[in-house]
Structures are given as C-alpha cells and as structure tokens.
A and B are shown apart, each in its own frame.
Chain A
C-alpha cells in the first residue's frame, strides 16, 4: 500500500509532467550518450580482446627483405619470446575482371593445410589453402564482398612480374587486419585494397623466397618487455634488410582500433557531463519553484508531525522520479544508439563476430551518475523545504522585492516601456537563474557547434591533404628501389603528363633520449606533384638541398627546433647513422613526416640515384590505357590513386560524420528545449497571476507573451554568442583530445556552422516558447482576481 505522502509524489510528477518530461529528456540525453559510449566501448574492448586471444594476434611484428628460415630459431631463443611465426608478406597488383583500376593486394603466406601459430584466420567461408594447391588463395571477406567474389571464382595477380590465375578457396578475417588500410590510405577502401592469404610454399616460390621469410610475428611471454625484445629482433634482422620491428600497440590495424576506443572514452566523459550538469540545474530550478508554491503544504505537513527529514525525502523522491523518467528514455535510447554506433564500427572494423550486449553495469553507472548529479543539483531546494519553519511556511511568501536597476533614470530607461522594464527587472532580480538559463542555452549551442564543426574540420583536412598538398593522380610503389631510368619508362606510358620520384626509408629519429620510429621521405628538388606542404599556412616549402624538414608534431616529440641536429638511424640498405640539422618545419595534419632531398638521401645510403615511388600526373582521357599498362608491369607492387583515396575519405566521412552530427544535434536540441521550456514554464508559474492581471487590464495576448517570452528570449539571444565561443573552446578541447601521431584534426569552424548552430538552438527554444505561449493563451483571467498568491 502506497503511503499518502508518496501518492503526492506521483501526483506532483503527473501535475508537472511537461517539465518532468523536459528535464527527463535532458537527463535521457546524458544517459543515452553515456550508455552509447560505454556500451560501444565495452563491445569493442571485449570483442577485440576475445578476438586477439582466440586468433592469437601477435605481440611484435617485423618486416625484412629476405631472412633465412634458420633465423627462426634464434628469434625464438630471444628471452621473453613465446612463439614465432615467420611468413612471406608482399604487395602485388591484382586484376579484377570488370574493374578497370589496378587493385592492390597484400599477399601474406599461411602454412598449407593448417592455421598459422600466430595471427590465425577466422574462416568465413570455404577453407584454408591446401598442400599442393599452388594457386589457392583466401581473400579477406570485405574485399571479396566489395567485388562480389566467392569461393570457386578466380582473380588474376601480377606476382613478381608474372600473371597468375588464383583460385579463391575461402574468405576470412584476421585480427591483424581488423582495419584493413592500404599503403598511403587514410580510410579502408575494400574495392582497391585486399588481403590475400596464400599457401606459404607457393608464395615463397613466387617471390624466390624458398627457405626464407620476409615478415615475422612474435608472441611474448606474459610480463616480457616488448622494447627489449624489439631491440634484439632488430639486431638479428639488421643484416637481412629488417626495417624495424614494432609492438602490437603500433601495429596499424590495432592502433586504429585502440585510438577509436580512446576517443569513445573521452566522449563518454565530455558529453554526459554537460547534459547532467544542465539537468541538475533544471531539477533545482523546478524543485525550487515547487517548494515555494507548496510552502503552506510543507507547513501543514510539519504541523502534522512530519519531520524535516521526511519532508526533504519527499522532495528528493520527486528528483528521483524525474531521473527515473529520464533513465527509462535514456536507457532505451542509449541502447539503440549504442547498437547503431557499434553497427557503424563494423563497417570499418571487421570482426568475425561483434557482440553488442549492453551490460547492466553501463546502465547502472549512467543512472547513478545522473541521480547523483540531479540530487546534488537540487540540494538547495530540498534543504529549503526541510528547514522551512512550519508557522512561517503557512504564511504567504513576502512579495518579491525589486530594485531599480542602475540606469533607471538614464535615457535608456526612459526609452524602455513598462513591459520591457518588467523583463529587465526580473532578469536582474534573479541573476543566478538568468545566468544558468543562459549557460544551458549556451551549452546547447556549443554542442551543436562541436558536432557540426567536425564536418568543417574534416572537409578542410581533406581539402588540404588531397587537393593542396597533392597533385598527382597516382602514386606507384615499386617492389625494389630502381635507378633513374625507371622514370623515363613511366614517362612513356600512355597518358602520363608528369613524373616525379619519391623514396621513403624507415628510420629511427632521435634527440638524446627522445626517439621516434618513422621514415624519411626523399623528394626531388622542385617537387610539385607531392611537395612539402604546410597544411596550416597552405604554402609549399621548397625541398632544401640538404638537411631535414620536419613536421611540427615530430619536432615537438623529439624536442628539436630549427638548426638543431637530429640523430638518424636508417633501417634500410647500409643502415647509415648520422646527425642531420633541421632546416625547416611544416605543420601537417596527417602523419609525422621528415622530408629530405632525395639526392641527399641516396648519397647518405651510398646508392646511385634511385627511387621507390613514382608520383604521376595522368591525362584523364587516357586513364584506361594507363591502368591497363600498369596492371602488367612486373615492378609495380603498389598503386595508390588519389581520386579513390578522396572518394573513400569523403564517403566514410559523409556517412559516419552525418550520423554523428545528426545524433549530437538531436541531443543538443533536447538540451536547448529543456532549458528554454523550463525557464519559461517556471516564469509562467511564478507570474501567471501578474500576466493574467495584465490581460484583465486590456493587454493583448501578444503583449503579455512579450513580457514572459521576451525575458527568456532575451536571455537566449544573449547566450547565443557565448554558446558559439563555448563551442569553439569545446571543439578545441576535442581536437586536442583527438590529436594523435597519425593525424591531427584542425580547429576550423565555418561561419555557416555557427549560423546553423544558432538556428537549430533557436528552433528548439522556439518550440518550447510556442508550447508555453499556448498555455498563456488559456490563462484563467477570473481565477486570479479572487486568489492571492
């Protein structure tokens, strides 16, 4: 049996349902955002952990030119190494029927007829290549799907200069390629890049690597120090063209997955905090109003013998009720959003099974945090109710005390009509509430700016990276560095307008204890297809005859500036070690480049003029002929097409960012609506009598709406610019939180983004104004004459 005082809680909630719902929505938005991030995070974390474990994802990865199989035992003997898996790994071009552009395949060997010991395949259809089945391959599933390839189909590959028909015997996924990124790409492009697993013997034979390997993956003992192992692996592989081992956290696919999880974590902090703070203040506002209208009831309860604690509990239960309403909506919404969000991840991250099971703990965390915030926020109002002395409580409250504002007698004040004075005095009278209303609206605008600026930032990033920093149509990767003659050969291919050499060598860069395992990019003097481009200033820096030009992020990591020496340890060729001065700094959004003159690089390596990549400008009309030729060239190991990279970048961005923006905008609008609606509703409740009196005195509906909504409207309009500023700050914070070695998100906000954010926020508040206006139109004029506040 429900106690009567609790029945009052339920009826009060029902009576205040509009406001309860409006606050509930803000709470719900916070809870939904929190559950969405937490549950997606859980899903990703659990899935990756289980996936990595089940399919034995390696701890250390290394690549060499060609190392003898005998080295395997020495690698296994390194203290801390548990398992070693050697293999052949090479890039080659694929020719897919009906697809004109060349497609790149990362060929990785697997033992015939059985799973490798590390980095096992999750077979999705068919089987592994069998012993003696020389041309059998397994494709990674997204690539096969993108081309509609099935078990039994064949694809053509140009392996080491030979065209080979490969028979697809299976499709699979691998923990190594959750995020399958082709060389030089920013986003996965399943049409143009695929993983091809082939029997080890067959692939080794094709690349003349019988009895040798070109890649090795290690599993470490629990507690082994990866850095120590890597040093020893590097030493062993040094002679065989090893280009520096990396640990799991730097493995490309895993890096992207972990980075995404980091971002989810920061999102789960920033967003819900904003919503819950606002919800707390709204709860306080509404409860405060309720306590003052129920003064006499509170007095009565106390007179009947209810204790202060019971009274406090009674009002606290109202807050709990509001949070419960929000929780239900938030949990349903958050679970839905989490499922959608997780689903979106499966577009780019491929797991054999991605289980989305929102845990009770995520929900419990979300609900308790909201409850805590709302109760904390409404402490003031609850305490006021509890400490009201009964005798005083039964008296009507003293009429509000107002003061003239400072400029009462000034020209400005004379210009104000009486209704406007009412607005100004009410704002000035409760500065805290006015400030909080503004803060709430500003937060809503800020969130909108934050959400929408992502589009600006990424569009800007894409513009800068793909259109201003690059002008080539294709970048061709060569299997081995080639002499300058190769440039002439490329120049003679059909449709080629310009050719530019580029060489990238792996290197450790260091300054004292600060080190970075990266690469040196060699460019020719006067390079213009892919110049040294400063993304921030939008200018090209000429390739200097000697010295290094570093990306600012790298320079910061190494703690070097212009004129400082950087210690270089090249990881290829003769592996020279030397110091080189920094002669230029450029700000780049992508990667941490170190540029060097290609001639200087070749001299440093003591090699004749050679190139490993060729940037090419193509006459679009002869594109098809060019592709056809490229597909047949034996030396080509990689083809990167700028247009394809642009398409996949913007394709992914448009799809994902728009979902993200829509979601945020809806949440932010709920926030703006909740704040504006509650402010106006409370004003209406406090001043309904005043407004009805004005109606009796002959004021029109529009005129009294002006007084009530004018106040809220004024606060909102003043809040808008603050919201824009706040949004800029928040965007900066987010951009900083998303800063990684692989990319930086520029802080760029288009004026139209501010405009749109303001329009959205205004629309949300306008809706709440219209609802309140509807109530204003139905004020009971007669009741106010007879009742006293």
Chain B
C-alpha cells in the first residue's frame, strides 16, 4: 500500500461500517460447554432426583433444562432459599457457553451471583414439578416425625431416663433433632417458639397404636368397662406431681423401635445421632432447654409471647 492510499483510508469516516463488521474471534478459543457447581442442601438434591425418577429422566439433564427454561422467564421466578439449611451436596452441571453467558447476564441484572440464580431456578422448577406430580416436598426426603419420636423415646438422656415429660419438652427436643439433621424444617415460629402440630398428631398416633406406656390405646375389640373408665380418667389429664403428661414407650413401642433400627443401617445411624442429641440437649429443667433453643435458633422464637421473659432468664443465668 502506498503512503497516499494509507492516508486516504485513515482520513475516511469508518463509523457506519464499524457496526457491520463481524465479531473478532477470541484470542483464546472457548470450550463449547462449561461446568458449574451448585451447592445444595442434601434434601434438595434428593427432591430433584425424585422428580427426575418420576419423569424417567437423568437428573443432571433435567436440572440443566430447568436452568435453560428458567432463563426464558426469569422475571416470574421467585424462590426464597431458606438460610438455615446447610448446603452439603453439590450438583455439577454442564452448560453450553451461550446459556452460561445468559445466566451471568441475568444474574448481573438481578445483582446476585450467577450460582445463586442457577440454584434458585432449579429449586423453583423442583417445586413446580412436585406440585404437578403431586409429590410431597418434605415427607419423602426426611424421616417422619413419628419415626423421630419413636427413636427419641427409645434413646435416653444423660441420667439414663428414656421418658420425656411434657409436650413442650417433646416439641423442643424433636425440633433440635430436626435442626441438627440439617433437613428442611417442618417446625415454624409460634406463640411459644418452634412448633409443629404434627408432633401432637404423632404422639396421639403412638398412643392409639399402644406404643405409649400407661396410656390406653384404642380398643381393638369391644371395650370393657375398665377400658372405658381408663379412657375417662385419661381425658381428665395427668394427676400428681407437676401434672405433666409423660411420654415413654411401652414394651410394644420399644420393640417397634428396635425393629426400626434393625430394618436399615440408615435408621440405626439415625438412632445413634438422636441419642447423642438427646444426651446433649435433654440435660436439665424445661426452662433451660427452652432458653437454649431460643438462643440457638432465634428465628424460631420471633413470634414467641415469652421471648422477653426467656431473654431475661438467659441473662440471669449468664450473670451467675
């Protein structure tokens, strides 16, 4: 090229042509796909797998498709990821570069990390799929409250006592077990801290089944007068010192707990875990247990009508 020709080209206004030029190639070629790693609670991963099973699809492919679909309608997606759940499991997903770029752009627009957005999309889609398939998000991935209760009453505290005195203590101990299991919480903040009506229901179910000591089960045949009177007395509530209902397994209940432990290594492991939690938490009087629960899990004490009283008590205890 001559100097004159070069000067002519440099003097020319190229601004309009610039818009029509093809994109310059990457200096370093990018792979066609990229892997992202999502950290999830174990229960969530189990739920994804369950939905995939129900649809006969590989769960990685299903989760990937949920991200792609979710990016098309990301404005409509709203998921509250529970803060208290520990993300123990990971899900490695291969995404094509275009999807990953889209994910990053959307995440940038929403002012959140793109991993978090991907996780939200997957969780949202899981919930939708569960609803469509009629799957219960909680029950299938966690031990039932009734199972936890049987194992809790089969375990013992540091004094070697397996009975639990009072519904409040039973509620709080099962709550702590569930929290320690890092599973999705079935308890919610209520008037006296964490509560779940399923605990009352499960306790009643165990009584009816004959698993609770000194409680009359539902009669399997026509009831005798003595059985009817026993039910009448029970209705009047506990008598004697403290007037607190005692929950302790009957012989039949302990046998059922033993069977449960032997049925599966997972239940044996669960029993050992519950036993250790009980020894750590079921140590003193009820107030002490309540104070510890409120302190360790303040979110679940947020609606409590005795929150201030508990706080004062905790302060006094600390001062001592």
A and B bound? no
A interface residues, Cβ below 8 angstroms from B: none
